[in-house]
Amino acid sequence: MARTTAVPAILAAAAIGLALPGCAGPDREYSQTQLSALQTREYDAGFDKTFDAAVAALFDAGFGVYGSDKRGGVVSGRRSGEGVQLKLDHLTDARTAVRISTLEWGQARVNEAMIKELHDLLNRRLTGALTAPPAGR
Amino acid sequence: MPPFRAALLVLAVALAGCEAPPPPISAEQRIALETRRFDQPRDAVARAAATALLDAGYIIRSSDFEAGLVCGERRAAYAQEAHYARAGGLGAWPSITDLAVVWVHAEPPGAGARLHLESCGAPLLDPAAYDAFWRRLDARLLPKEAPR
């Protein structure tokens, strides 16, 4: 009798163990240096061009841009439960730094994959590897 | 409850916490769906875009004219008015709102526009919904008749 109840109990425990890690893993601790290196990239383009590329990258990744302050260099986006904030800093007339911070369900949480995805899309926009279709309307 | 059924129930509840990913769409497909070009100047298209959002029943949630961005929000068709009000109205939970973001930028000799539509927190990828907005924007860009 004990054996018949033990097997389903083990199955239940295994089910929880398998299902939960798919939703969320433990948070990793980052030093300030690690975080800066992960979030910030510098681009060989002026502020206006980089800002446009950043907005385009958010659209390309399916984010809804719900907040923007171009003069302050800030733009915020949302995609399902994920959020993102981009901070642009003018370094020189031909160089701009972009820092990408991520949120999950309203809380600041480092999402390395999302940061990389957006930096890569931004870079593709700036290098002309990703552009609007040539056709008109 | 029999232990085996309990195990299945626990599994179902645990898996329900994970959202199914939206159907994959590439950046290129997104650009083709969301992009439109206009012959008019950037500033005129940006102003008309904000008006077209209001025409479509959206409330302007945020706007940055310098960046050419305007974001509108409205109660989703299925959400009851009371639910929307209780959730805080404007800026409420994405699950009961529609979101529209328009980005207008200079693209000499005219302007380029990009539209992002969401409904209930999920991207709206129906071309008809995009066409409907572009038609509203076109209507707002038509020359106004001189007063008689």
Q: Kindly determine whether residue B116 and residue A12, on different chains, have CB atoms separated by under 8 Å.
A: no
- pLDDT tops 70 at residue B91: no
CB atoms within 10 A of CB B140: 18
**What pLDDT is attached to residue A23?**
52
- pLDDT tops 70 at residue A137: no
Question: What's the whole-number mean pLDDT along residues B72-85?
Answer: 79
Residues of B in contact with A5 (CB under 8 A): 3
Average pLDDT, chain A: 84
A135: confidence class by pLDDT, cuts 50, 70, 90:
very low
Query: Which one has a higher pLDDT value, B1 or B57?
Result: B57
| Rounded Cα distance, B84 and B87, in Å | 5
Q: What percent of chain B has pLDDT over 70?
A: 78
Residue type, A16: I
B18: confidence class by pLDDT, cuts 50, 70, 90:
very low
Lowest-pLDDT range of A4-8, A122-126, B86-90, B114-118:
A4-8
| Rounded Cα distance, B73 and A133, in Å | 28
Of A64, A70, A130, Cβ closest to residue B101 = A64
pLDDT, one tens digit per residue, over A33-64 is 999 999 999 999 999 999 999 999 999 999 99
3-state secondary structure (DSSP) of residue B60:
strand
Please give the full DSSP string across B64-106, using - where no structure is assigned. ETTTTEEEEEEE-TTS-HHHHHHTTSTT--GGGEEEEEEEEEE
Measured CB to CB, residues of chain B less than 8 Å from chain A are 2-4, 6-7, 10-11, 14-15, 17-19, 22, 25, 27-28, 30-32, 34-38, 61-62, 64, 66-67, 69, 71, 94, 99, 101, 103, 105, 107, 112, 114, 116, 118, 121-123
- How far are the Cα atoms of A53, A56, A62, A82, A116 from residue A38, in angstroms, in the given order? 19, 21, 22, 18, 8
What is this structure's pTM?
A: 0.76
| Rounded Cα distance, A135 and A129, in Å | 17
- pLDDT tops 90 at residue A134: no
Residue length, chain B?
A: 148
Instruction: State the DSSP code for B57.
Output: T
Kindly provide the ipTM of the predicted complex, given to two decimals: 0.72
B10: confidence class by pLDDT, cuts 50, 70, 90:
low
pLDDT, one tens digit per residue, over B60-69 is 999 999 999 9
Lowest-pLDDT range of B20-24, B44-48, B144-148:
B20-24
- pLDDT tops 70 at residue A73: yes
- pLDDT tops 70 at residue B70: yes
